Amino acid sequence: MLNKNDYVPLYEQLRKLLRRQILKGEYKNGDLLPSENELMKMYGITRTTIRKAMEALVREGLVQQIHGRGTFVRFQEITKTVWNFQGFSSLVKERNEIPISKVFQHEVIRKNGEAYLKLRRLRGMSRDDQITWMTLDDSELPLRRFPGLDQYRFEQRSLYATLEKDYQCPPRFVNLDIIPVLSDEELMDYFGLPSIKPLLKAKGQVYDEDGHQIETVSVVYSPVFAFKLARSL
Amino acid sequence: MLNKNDYVPLYEQLRKLLRRQILKGEYKNGDLLPSENELMKMYGITRTTIRKAMEALVREGLVQQIHGRGTFVRFQEITKTVWNFQGFSSLVKERNEIPISKVFQHEVIRKNGEAYLKLRRLRGMSRDDQITWMTLDDSELPLRRFPGLDQYRFEQRSLYATLEKDYQCPPRFVNLDIIPVLSDEELMDYFGLPSIKPLLKAKGQVYDEDGHQIETVSVVYSPVFAFKLARSL
DNA sequence: TAGTGGTCTAGACCACGGT
DNA sequence: CCGTGGTCTAGACCACTAG
C-alpha cells in the first residue's frame, strides 16, 4: 500500500501505484477507476492528495477525468514513429532483417564528476549481403546507474535489451527535439548520399518509468527512414 | 484584482494576472516574485489556490520555484511544441503576441470531382512593430464538409477557430510525415535566412473526432521553432 | 532563527451527469 | 436525486536556505 513515512510523497506513491496497475492491465482501457471518495477510504488519505496524483496521470495521458461521471483509463497511443522503445534492434528484426552495428566510440567520460559510458554507433541492417546504414547515434549513460555497463560489447548486443534484462530498467519516456541538419562528409559517406542532403536529427533524453533519466541521445536518421507522427489529443 | 464570483476559477485568474505582469515586464527575468504568504495577504486567497496557479506557471516555464528561497521569474525565450490543436493563432496568442497571416492563395480547386478550398498562408507574429514569419502552410479543406468556408477572409480570422465555432468541427487527430527540406529562395526570403538552411516540413492529414479527414496540410517551419516530441509508452 | 516552498489534512460548496 | 469531479478554505508540520 502507501507508506506515510516514506520520503517519497504520498501523491507520488499513489501515482506510481495507479500507473503500474494501468500498465499491468488491472485497469483496462476505458475502465472506470475508483472514485476519489473511494480512494480516500481505500488508502486513508485526503482528496487533495489524490487529486494531485490524478492531475499527473491526466497530464501523462493515462487517464481522463469527466466531470460528473468519473475517472477513466484512456491509454491513448501517440506516434508510430521511428522512435520505438524496444530499441533499434527489435525494430529491424520486426522487419525480418538482421540488425548491424558498428561501434566507433566506446569510452568512459566524466561530466560534473559523474562517469558516463559514451557510445557512438552506426546502425543499420543487412539484406542480401547488402548493408544499409540507417542511423548514427551518440548515447551517454550514467555508470552510477548501470555499473559495469562499459564492459559489454555493443557490436553484438542490443543496448536497450541489456538495460531491460540486466538492469531491470526499460526505457519508458522520451523527450526529444527534432532538428533538421545538413549531411556532412561523414554522414554522406555512411549513408551513401550522392550530395548534401537535409536530414533529421533527434536529440534529447530517455527516461525510465519512474521518470529518472537513463540516457541522453542524439540520433541522425538516414533518408531511408520515414518519420511519422500520429497524434491524438 | 481577482473576482471571487467570476466563472473563471481564482487560480486561473491569478495565473493570468501573474503571467501578464511577467510578460509586461513588471517582473523581470530573474526577479523574485512575492512569496506565497505575501500573495495570500495581497489577494485574500489561500495558499492552495496560489500554489495551483504557480504550478501552471512552472509548467509553462515562466517561473521557477526554489525550496527555501522563493519563486523567480525565468522567462526562457523561444518555443515549445510546434503542433498544437488550438491552431497557430492561439499558440501565438498564448504568448501574448499578435498572430499575423498573409494569404497568398485562396481559391476553390477540384480534385476527383470534389471541391476544396486551397489556402497558402505565411504566418507569424508581430512584436514591437517587428514581424516574425514562422510558418508557410498549404491547406486543402473539403467544401462539401464546410459549405461557405471559402467566403471567410483568413487574413484576420483563425481557420481552426472557424472550424470549431462555425462548423462545430474541432481538429482532433493528425497523421503527419516529418520531412527535412532545404530552404529555397522563397523561404529564405520569408524567414529572413542568410543562407540555405535545412528546415522541417510536416505533411499529412488532420481529422475530426469521428476520424473524418477535414484537412490536408503541409507546413514548413522557420528555424525559430523548436520541434519537440515527448512520448510515453 | 525567520522565511520560503513542499506536503498533507479535514472539511466545505459547487456544477455536472445520470437515475 | 445522488455520486462524480472542480474549486476553495484554514489550518498544520516539514525541509530547505540564508543571514
B50–chain A nearest CA distance, Å = 14
> How many other CB atoms sit within 10 Å of the CB of residue A54?
21
- CB pair distance less than 8 Å for A177 and B227: yes
B232–chain A nearest CA distance, Å = 4
Which range has the worst mean pLDDT, A68-82, A87-101, B167-181? A87-101
Nearest to B119 by CA among B57, B163, B185: B163
Secondary structure, 3-state, A114-163:
EEEEEEEEEEEEEECCEEEEEEEEEEEEECCCCCCHHHCCCCCCCHHHHH
H or E segment and range at residue A48: helix A47-60
Give the closest nucleotide to A2 (alpha carbon vs C1').
C8
Residue nearest to nucleotide D8 (CA to C1'): B49
Nearest to B203 by CA among B162, B171, B174, B165: B174
Nearest to B196 by CA among A223, A198, A203: A198
* Cell (9 digits) for A230: 500520429
Give the closest nucleotide to B68 (alpha carbon vs C1').
C4
Q: How far is the CA of A119 from the C1' of D16 (A)?
A: 38
Rounded CA gap, A200 and B198, in Å? 9
In the three-class reduction of DSSP (H, G, I as helix; E, B as strand; rest coil), residue B28 is classed as coil
Residues of B with CB under 8 A from a CB of A: 48, 83, 85, 172-182, 197-200, 202, 204, 226-233
Residues with CB under 7 A from strand C: A 4, 9-12, 44-49, 52, 66-69; B 33, 35-38, 47-48, 51, 54, 65-71
CB of A37 nearer than 7 A to strand D = yes
What are the backbone dihedrals phi and psi of residue B179, each rounded to the nearest 5 degrees, phi first?
-130, 135
**Confidence band (pLDDT; 50, 70, 90) for B167?**
confident
Nearest to A180 among B83, B200, B232 (CB): B200
Listed as ranges, the nucleotides of chain C within 7 A of a protein C-beta are 3-12, 15-18
Q: Higher-confidence residue: B98 or A168?
A: A168
pLDDT beyond 90 at B76: no
CB of B51 nearer than 7 A to strand D = no
CB contact at 8 A, A71 and A54: yes
Task: Convert the pLDDT of each residue in B140-158 to its tens digit.
Answer: 998 988 888 899 988 877 7
CB of A206 nearer than 7 A to strand D = no
**Which residue in chain A is spatially nearest to B224 when comparing CA positions?**
A179
Task: Convert the pLDDT of each residue in A8-47 to its tens digit.
Answer: 899 999 998 998 898 788 998 889 999 999 999 999 999 9
Residues of A with CB under 8 A from a CB of B: 48, 60-61, 78-79, 81, 83, 85, 172-182, 197-200, 202, 204, 226-233
pLDDT beyond 60 at B92: no
> How many other CB atoms sit within 10 Å of the CB of residue A162?
16
pLDDT beyond 70 at B96: no
Q: Check residue B149 and report its DSSP letter.
A: G
- Prediction pTM value: 0.61
Q: Residue A220 pairs with which residues in a beta bridge?
A: A136, A201
CB contact at 8 A, A142 and A118: no
**Confidence band (pLDDT; 50, 70, 90) for B134?**
confident
Nearest to A78 among B172, B228, B231 (CB): B231
Q: Residue B100 pairs with which residues in a beta bridge?
A: B124
Rounded CA gap, B14 and B20, in Å? 10
H or E segment and range at residue A199: strand A198-207
Burial B165-193 (b: 16+ CB within 10 A, else e): eebebbbbbbbbebbbbebeeebbebbee
B227–chain A nearest CA distance, Å = 5
B77–chain A nearest CA distance, Å = 16
**Confidence band (pLDDT; 50, 70, 90) for A226?**
low
Rounded CA gap, A45 and A119, in Å? 46
Task: Convert the pLDDT of each residue in A106-157 to its tens digit.
Answer: 999 987 667 899 999 998 877 666 787 888 989 999 898 888 899 999 887 8
Strand ranges (E), chain B: 63-66, 70-73, 98-111, 114-127, 130-142, 173-182, 198-207, 213-221, 227-232
Cα of B98 vs its chain's centroid, Å:
11
Q: Which amino acid, one-letter code, is at B161?
A: A
H helices present in chain B, as ranges: 10-24, 36-43, 47-60, 87-94, 159-167, 185-191
Nearest to B148 by CA among B165, B161, B166: B166
Rounded CA gap, A153 and A101, in Å? 11
Q: Higher-confidence residue: A89 or A158?
A: A158
pLDDT beyond 90 at A101: no
CB contact at 8 A, B119 and B136: no
